[in-house]
Copies of this chain bind each other. A is one copy, B any other.
Amino acid sequence: MIRGDGGKTLRAILDQICNKWTLLIVATLEQGTLRFSDLHHRIPGISQRMLTLTLRNLERDGLVSRTIYAEVPPRVEYALTPIGESLIPPALALASWAIDHVPQIEENRTRFLYDRR
């Protein structure tokens, strides 16, 4: 069953994981450690603000580690923790499902619009 408690905390955490950017960031960090600017231009469309906020949440939840190097210019590197890495398989499973079914879903949507008068 999908609900362990009343569903409160679970749904809260699912919302946290399943938001607009989290899965993409985790999937991008699968390749290994990346610094802020790398992430910024590897994830098209994300704003600096949302990248910062999402990384903070992931750090707070212990899914991502943040390492600061006191250099000039500054360098900050992000990497997945073991818990973060354990999220990779289910995240990729969902992403793969979406990729596999994008054409079918798009066809369904257009047909749905056409069938309604």
Q: Which residues of A contact B (CB under 8 A)?
A: 2, 4, 6-11, 13-15, 17-20, 23-24, 27-28, 44-45, 59-63, 83, 86-87, 89-99, 101-102, 104-106, 108-109, 112
Contact = CB atoms under 8 A, between A and B. Distances in A.
A98 B17 contact: yes
> How many copies are assembled?
2
Contact of A17 (B6, B86, B94): B94
A17 to B, nearest CB: 6
Nearest to A17: B98
A10 B96 CA distance: 10
A10 B103 CA distance: 10
Contacts of A15: 20
